[in-house]
């Protein structure tokens, strides 16, 4: 499945990165060199990336995969909360013998994607294509979410 959607995921990533860079450049210009502005200002952003148009040109199954990969990039953790706290506690108790963080890339990326798709992680209920595409498009750190998901899923 990842192979089937690889090209579109990479194109969405490219357009999201382009949008992010345009946003930073426009923000610096509008706000006297400040690269960080209040997120309320995002609505004033003149998005010329074509991301929303690309999303709307996809079928609903593709939108679901893109959105699921986005949420994997945002939410996936390679260890449970208990494992995380145990590792932190062990590292604190014995700083010379620290336990390294687990690798971000999962062992079975296809299985992970299928699992998240079937569980609709991050999505309470699929709605229409426009609503789901808009949900993806609204995420300003979309490029970072996808970049992280590509590592998790072992995509080059």
Number of independent structural domains in the chain:
1
Domain membership of residue 84 (yes or no) is no
What are the tens digits of pLDDT across the range 88-128?
777 777 767 676 666 788 889 999 999 999 886 656 678 89
Domain membership of residue 113 (yes or no) is yes
pTM, two decimals, is 0.79
Q: Which domain holds residue 57?
A: 2-76+102-152
Domain membership of residue 86 (yes or no) is no
Q: What are phi and psi of 87, to 5 degrees?
A: -65, -45
What are the tens digits of pLDDT across the range 35-89?
554 545 555 666 788 999 999 999 999 999 999 999 999 998 877 778 777 777 7
- DSSP per residue, 76-120: --SS-HHHHHHHHHHHHH-GGGPPPPPPSS-S-HHHHHHHHHHHT
Confidence of residue 4 (pLDDT cuts 50, 70, 90): very high
Domain membership of residue 96 (yes or no) is no
Domain membership of residue 13 (yes or no) is yes
């Amino acid at each position: 499945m990842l192979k089937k959607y690889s090209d579109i995921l990479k194109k969405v990533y490219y357009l999201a990165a382009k949008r992010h860079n345009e946003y930073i450049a426009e923000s610096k210009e509008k706000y006297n060199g400040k690269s960080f502005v209040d997120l309320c200002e995002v609505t004033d952003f003149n998005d010329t990336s074509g991301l929303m148009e690309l999303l709307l040109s996809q079928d609903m199954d593709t939108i679901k995969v893109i959105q699921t990969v986005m949420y994997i990039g945002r939410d996936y953790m390679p260890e449970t909360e208990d494992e995380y706290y145990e590792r932190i506690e062990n590292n604190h108790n014995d700083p010379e013998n620290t336990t390294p963080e687990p690798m971000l890339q999962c062992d079975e990326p296809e299985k992970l994607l299928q699992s998240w798709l079937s569980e609709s992680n991050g999505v309470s209920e699929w709605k229409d294509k426009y609503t789901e595409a808009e949900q993806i498009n609204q995420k300003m750190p979309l490029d970072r979410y996808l970049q992280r998901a590509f590592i998790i899923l072992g995509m080059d």
